[in-house]
Structure 1
Amino acid sequence: MESVIYWLAQRYDSSSGGFFYAQSSEHVNVKIPDIESTAQALNILERYDLLSGMPDDVRQQLIGFFQMKQQDTGYFLDDNPMMAEDDVMVARALSYSLGALKKLGGKPLHRLPNTAGALPSYMKTPEAYGEWLRSVSLSNSWRGCDRLCVSGVYIKQLTEEKRPMYLHEAFSYFASIQDPVTGLWGQGNDYVKISGTFKLFTFYQQFQRQLPNEGAIYQSVMKTLTEKPAKDMCYVRNSVNLLAAMEREIELPDVTIVLEAIGLQLKRLKQKDGGFSREISGSLPAPNVGQVKKEEKYSELPQPVILGAGLMEGDMNATTQAVLIHRLCYQLAKRPFPFAKMAGVPFYSLIKSKEA
């Protein structure tokens, strides 16, 4: 996986301090790196324990990158106007940017949406929030549950007094629609439902709640991951993340079987440039609509936000997930991760050479 570090260095943009989504990004009129790709690049560095060696000038420029993206409303937005129309992207950008600034030791330049009076209209009252939850289509579990769980970003902005009423609405509704046999939520193929369940898991995790019916979820994930090829990196990541998060003891030979299955899935998605692509057919040009495949339909899909050309190349969205899977496999195997191997790659020297 050392090739990932070399690939990542090539995505660095010295003029802005950010990281591009893919090699083709600069050829599809993406002039400035996007928020998600840059935050995901930081996640790669953090997961390989490479953040501590970051030179101060690189750190300060990255802080400036995220600060530059913040609007007067408190939200963080890219230049593409379509991004502001995608509620999932807007919420993710807020979460990603705040997380990145915290890692880097920086702060937002403007007040956040809770104090700027800019929370979504469905957050006005717990009742309005409950109505909104029930209005979200789960015909594609992955997309629908993603929309549901990003509301957690806004719940965290509420006062301690108000928050429990909103959480009661959420957890009561989620419990009422969980499949008691599979433990999964929503509709779609098995990987789509697992991906939706993973999204809801992140909501439960944010508020320190136990994921209900874990035993059934575990069986569903193990069966799907070991028996069915995944055509999207997210299918693999979401499945592995759920297995690791549930902290259930995976006995031999199951652990060997699942690790071999994960390895085969990753090999299918590895690209010649050293990165990983979202799909076996290549990188996705617009990952914000990648949850709903060509053969699937979802009535509330936003407009695509183009980040790349959709070539057979690595992209940041998939590569950051491959790195997380790499870490989680060691966790599942109960083995220490070889950080020293990654530290041998001179990442910061490589990006400095791009400036020359």
Structure 2
Amino acid sequence: MKRRIEQILADRDRVFEGFFPWLEEQYDSASGGFFYARSSKQSGEFTPDIESTAQAFNILERCGLLKRLTRGGKEGAVRFFQSRQDPGSGYFYDSDPNMRKDDVMVGRALGYSTNALRKLGAEPLYPLPKQNEWAPAYMASPGLYGQWLRSISLVNSWRGCDRLCNSAPYISVLNTAEREPYLQEAFRYFGELQHPDSGLWGQGSPYVQVSGTFKLLTFYNRFNRPLPRAREIYRSLLNILRREEAVDMCYIRNPISLLTAMKISIPGEDLAEIAEISLRNMEKLKRADGGYSREIEGSPPAPNVAQVKNGEYYPDMPAAVPLGKGELEGDMNAGTQAILIRYTLRELAGLPIRHLPIPDSLFADVTGKPE
């Protein structure tokens, strides 16, 4: 069965033809960052952003290229991330002021930037925000935290669970005695919300519920708590993969990430089927420019913030933060997920790492001979 899975993955590696020239095209040597999409660069209306740049370097790392960074490529990347840090708050921001209004985007930018600088052997220019000093008002007491949890809408499980998980960093900095009442509030409420038959959380389409469940699982794993109803979740996931249409790259990636985070034994026949379905769905999102689109209809102009996406309503969303023109084109958000899917499937199958072939001529401004 392992040989069959390896053959499935090897046959599908052809869908990455043209991907790395596309990735190289998004690089901006002047800033040291990466653009989100071709239209972002060609339109002249956008600049390289934190998330796309971090995702691009994650791709380079996963594909074995990070160790080939030239001195200039490394210095450019460090300069990019350091220039985005606000000296007053310690957070990292893109130029669009609407980004600061979304706590999820701000939290991601902080994580992306600090992790990238660490990998590059550098540090932020200014002190990082201390979670206990910048904690939101709901962290004043376990009771207020419980009220806040119950105020988050799960009409869209994906967005709602993402917001619930955004409280984890504030809880993690508390000492053990202080932390426990908050965790009791969280896990008691999560237990009330979980659907007993499916094991999933919240509302929305089946794929949206899987995505929300994956988000919530990161909370359980962070605090070393077992995931309840794992068997029901696994059964639901298989049924959804077999029956539902995946119209978003996240709908392909999130089930794979959920399986990885669940840390369960997957029968070989199931894994072969999961690989075939996932890679077949991924191929539908490949574009003529060599990249992948997040959505079946094209690349979303604002990948993190939208009131309606693929017919799914996202409540309580701030103003959009556009990164591109939303054309039928590859985008960095989808590209990093496609690479993750490919490598994670090999990991789930217990196969050795085998990198995709990448010509030495690519990324001349970023990689080359190691220092």
Normalising by structure 2, we get a TM-score of 0.88
Q: CA deviation at 1:115?
A: 6.5
**1:154–1:343 distance in 2 versus 1, CA, 3 Å:** farther
Which range moves more in the overlay, 48-57 or 158-167? 158-167
Structure 2 gaps of 5+ residues are 1-15
The equivalent residue for 2:39 is: 24
The equivalent residue for 2:13 is: none
Map residues 185-334 of structure 1 onto 2, 5 A cutoff: 185-290=201-306, 292-293=308-309, 295-334=311-350
Distance 1:17 1:3 in 2: 22
The equivalent residue for 2:194 is: 178
Q: CA deviation at 1:185?
A: 0.4
Contact 1:74–1:116 (CA under 8 A) maintained in structure 2: no
Q: Secondary structure at the match of 2:363?
A: helix
The equivalent residue for 1:125 is: 141
Distance 1:18 1:228 in 2: 36
The equivalent residue for 1:48 is: 63
The equivalent residue for 1:104 is: 120
Q: Secondary structure at the match of 1:318?
A: helix
Counterpart amino acid of residue 69 in structure 1? R
Structure 2 residue 74 is the aligned partner of structure 1 residue 59: yes
Distance 2:262 2:252 in 1: 16
Which range moves more in the overlay, 151-160 or 238-247? 151-160
Structure 2 residue 104 is the aligned partner of structure 1 residue 88: yes
The equivalent residue for 1:146 is: 162
**1:93–1:287 distance in 2 versus 1, CA, 3 Å:** same
Q: CA deviation at 1:235?
A: 0.7
Which range moves more in the overlay, 31-40 or 116-125? 116-125
Q: CA deviation at 1:152?
A: 1.8
Counterpart amino acid of residue 177 in structure 1? L
Counterpart amino acid of residue 188 in structure 1? G
Q: Secondary structure at the match of 1:83?
A: helix
Q: CA deviation at 1:336?
A: 1.7
Distance 1:233 1:176 in 2: 30
**1:345–1:157 distance in 2 versus 1, CA, 3 Å:** farther
Q: Secondary structure at the match of 2:135?
A: coil
Contact 2:69–2:367 (CA under 8 A) maintained in structure 1: no
Counterpart amino acid of residue 241 in structure 1? S
Q: CA deviation at 1:296?
A: 3.1
Distance 1:127 1:186 in 2: 22
Counterpart amino acid of residue 62 in structure 2? R
**1:274–1:19 distance in 2 versus 1, CA, 3 Å:** same
**1:114–1:162 distance in 2 versus 1, CA, 3 Å:** farther
Q: CA deviation at 1:350?
A: 5.7
Q: CA deviation at 1:205?
A: 2.4
**1:299–1:343 distance in 2 versus 1, CA, 3 Å:** closer
Normalising by structure 1, we get a TM-score of 0.92
The equivalent residue for 1:73 is: 89
Q: CA deviation at 1:86?
A: 1.2
Contact 1:10–1:351 (CA under 8 A) maintained in structure 2: no
Contact 1:145–1:200 (CA under 8 A) maintained in structure 2: yes
Contact 1:289–1:301 (CA under 8 A) maintained in structure 2: yes
Q: CA RMSD in A?
A: 2.2
